[in-house]
Amino acid sequence: MQNYVFGADIGGTSVKLGLFYSDGELLEKWEIPTRTVNGGVHVLPDVAQAIMTAMERHGISASQVVGIGIGVPGPVDDSFTVNKCVNLGWGVFNIKERMNELLPEIPHVAAGNDANVAALGELWRGGGRGSQSAVMITLGTGVGGGVVLDGKIVAGRNGGAGEIGHMTVEPGETVPCSCGKCGCLEQYTSARGVVRMAKVMLSQCDTPSKLRRIEDFTSKHICELAAVGDHMALKIIDRFGDYLGRAMSYISCTVDPDVFIIGGGMSKAGNIVTDAALKYYRKYAFHVSKETGAAIAMLGNDAGIYGCARMVLK
């Protein structure tokens, strides 16, 4: 008899759902809105309802469901206690216990922070395939991260593991990060941060650049112009790589992963981004770890549901 797994990657506006065969193959994926009203009280019942509907649609009985994996946009500890999700209005509660109340016939529930779960998904079926440990760095609006060692998510005592974006890489910085500290990696290497840094660099010199002619340029413009040899864009990407590569070297001095996985909007520029980061990574890394590679994330928005399934299938 065929067995199945459900993954539910809960985001601030929608929940991504995946139905997988127990060998890890994706059978169906879909989305439902995240109803954050009333302290997010509807979110998990909506997920349970979506799972029941899908089971009916495919004629799957509860005994055929190995379990449900859930990605949460906030800290989750090893016993699956959620410690506040501001985006959802959630306080502190045990998500496994809540799901067991909603779907008592499917007792096996696992949960993790969404960034960590995405890292697990990429390690399993994406850019980190074939490795046992990886650190994923997501260069999006902010900079997030996930640490997976020996196939297991590292959450940390306070759910702070993988908060790569808040490494203080520029102690002398006076402009504050959204977190309140100054000099965080996110301020230089997120899609938004690299634009801010570019504007500062452009204001400090007269080097001609096509960037000067684009009002409200984005990180995509910077990467595209660097790819065609715009001198200033190359300088910006070089400094971006200096910060990111140094942060990666700190990660290696701590856990020495098999591979780095670079995801998020900035990663769409591909080699431009990884080459710049690895150039400086090799400069700053301890010699034994110098050859560690950086892969581009492959699963995009599906990384979360794959990671959810993986949490259950291990």
Binding site for its own copies (CB under 8 A): 75, 78, 133, 135, 147, 149-150, 154-164, 166-168, 171, 179-181, 242, 246-247, 249-258, 283-284, 286-289, 291-292
How are beta strands 143-149 and 152-153 bridged, if at all? antiparallel
DSSP state of 212: G
To the nearest whole angstrom, how small is the minimum distance from the Cβ of residue 283 to its own copies? 8
> Closer to its own copies at the Cβ: 35 or 181?
181
d(CA 305, CA 28): 11
> Closer to its own copies at the Cβ: 181 or 221?
181
To the nearest whole angstrom, how small is the minimum distance from the Cβ of residue 311 to its own copies? 16
HSE toward the beta carbon, residue 82, CA cutoff 13 A: 28
To the nearest whole angstrom, how small is the minimum distance from the Cβ of residue 63 to its own copies? 32
- What angle is formed at CA 41 by the lines to CA 36 and CA 45, rounded to 5 degrees? 105
> Closer to its own copies at the Cβ: 113 or 209?
113
HSE toward the beta carbon, residue 156, CA cutoff 13 A: 15
To the nearest whole angstrom, how small is the minimum distance from the Cβ of residue 252 to its own copies? 6
61 in Cβ contact with 105 (< 8 Å): no
To the nearest whole angstrom, how small is the minimum distance from the Cβ of residue 86 to its own copies? 13
> Closer to its own copies at the Cβ: 151 or 300?
151
For the chain, give me the number of helices (H) and strands (E)?
10, 12
Length of the chain: 314
27 in Cβ contact with 20 (< 8 Å): yes
> Closer to its own copies at the Cβ: 186 or 230?
186
